[in-house]
Amino acid sequence: MKIRSTMMRFAGAGMIAVAVVPWLGGGSASAAVNVYVAAKWDGTNSATSTVSQAGCDYAEVTDISHNSQGWHFVLPGGSGLTTFTANFQTAGKVTVTTTDTAAGVIVQGGKGAVIYTPTDDVLVALAAFADHAGQGSAATAGTNDMQLSHLCNGESTPTETPTPTVSQHSVPVTTTAVVTTPAAVTTTASAAVLPTKASTPAVSVKGTKAGTVKSVLPHTGSGLPVGLLLATSLALLLGGGALMMLPGLAPARGKRRRH
C-alpha cells in the first residue's frame, strides 16, 4: 500500500513539473540577442566616405551638447535595442544606452542608435565583436546586420530611415532609351467619314474579398500556442495535485467507515 501511495505521489509531482517546464522555456526564449554592424562598414572614414549625411535630431536626443561627428546606425527588421557599442580608430569603443549622454543614445524606439565621436574617425573591426566594428544587445535581431544609415550634420532629420547604401562606391547605371515611331495614318479625301460614337468597352471588374487572416497567438519556447499550452498546463496541474492528494484521502475514508 505504501509503495502504491509513493508511486502516485511521484506521478503527481511529475505531472506538475511537466506543466511548469514549458513556461520556464518561454521566459528564456525572450532573452536578449547580440547584433553586429555589417562587415562592409569596417574602415568607413567619416572624413572621406560617400555615406549620405542628414540630421540626427531624434526624439530621444535631448539638449545635451553633441558638438562632434555623429554616426547613425539602424537595425533592419530588429527591435528592442538597449545598448550599442561602436569601435573607432581614434575614439576607441563608444557605448550608448537608452539614456542620452554626450556619447549618444538609442533612438527610434530601439531600432537605431546615434553615436558621437570627438572628431572625424574610422570604424575599425574588433575581435571582441566577432570581427565587426560594432555590437549591440536587442530583443530581436531581425533579418540583417546593423547598417550605417548616415552621418549626422545640421540638415533635417529623416522622417523615415533611409535605405542604407549597399556599397560605398558608386556604380554607373546605363539606361537605353527606346523611341517608338508612330505609325503613319493614311486618309482618303473622297471617302465620306460619318462621325461615330466612341464605344465604351464593357469592363467587368470582380471585387476581391480580402481573406480572413487568422490571428496568431504569441508562442513560447515550447512552440505551442499560449491558449493550448495554458489549458494543457492547468489539466496537468489538476491531475498531478489529485494524484498527490489521493493517498492521504484513502486512510481518512477508512477511518470514517470504522466509526
pLDDT score of 211 more than 50: no
Q: For residue 75, which phi and psi values (nearest 5 degrees)?
A: -120, 90
Same domain? 46 vs 130: yes
Last residue of a domain, one of 152, 184, 216: 152
C-alpha 176, offset from chain centre? 39
DSSP string, 67-98: -SEEEEEE-TT-B---EEEEEETTTEEEEEES
Total structural domains within the chain: 2
Q: How far apart are the C-alpha atoms of 204 and 210, rounded to whole Å?
A: 19
> What are the helix (H) ranges across the chain?
2-29, 226-258
- Asked if residue 64 belongs to a domain, the reply is yes
The amino acid at residue 33 is V
Using only C-alpha atoms, the chain has a radius of gyration, in whole angstroms, of 33
What's the chain's length in residues? 259
Q: Which domain holds residue 78?
A: 33-152
Digit-coded pLDDT (tens) for 33-79: 999 999 999 999 999 999 999 999 899 988 788 878 999 999 999 99
**How crowded is the C-beta side of 98, counted as CA atoms within 13 Å?**
10
Same domain? 42 vs 142: yes
Q: How far apart are the C-alpha atoms of 113 and 100, rounded to whole Å?
A: 11
Question: What's the pTM?
Answer: 0.53
- Asked if residue 169 belongs to a domain, the reply is no
**All cell numbers assigned to 122:** 574610422
pLDDT score recorded for residue 71: 97
- Asked if residue 201 belongs to a domain, the reply is no
- Asked if residue 40 belongs to a domain, the reply is yes
Q: Which residue has the higher pLDDT, 186 or 12?
A: 12
Last residue of a domain, one of 99, 130, 152: 152
pLDDT score recorded for residue 15: 76
pLDDT score recorded for residue 188: 42
Same domain? 119 vs 140: yes
What is the rounded average pLDDT for all residues in the chain? 73
Cα–Cα nearest to 83, from 139, 124, 38 = 139
Last residue of a domain, one of 101, 135, 152: 152
- Sign of the dihedral through C-alpha 133, 138, 141, 142: negative
Cα–Cα nearest to 71, from 140, 49, 79 = 49
Same domain? 26 vs 38: no
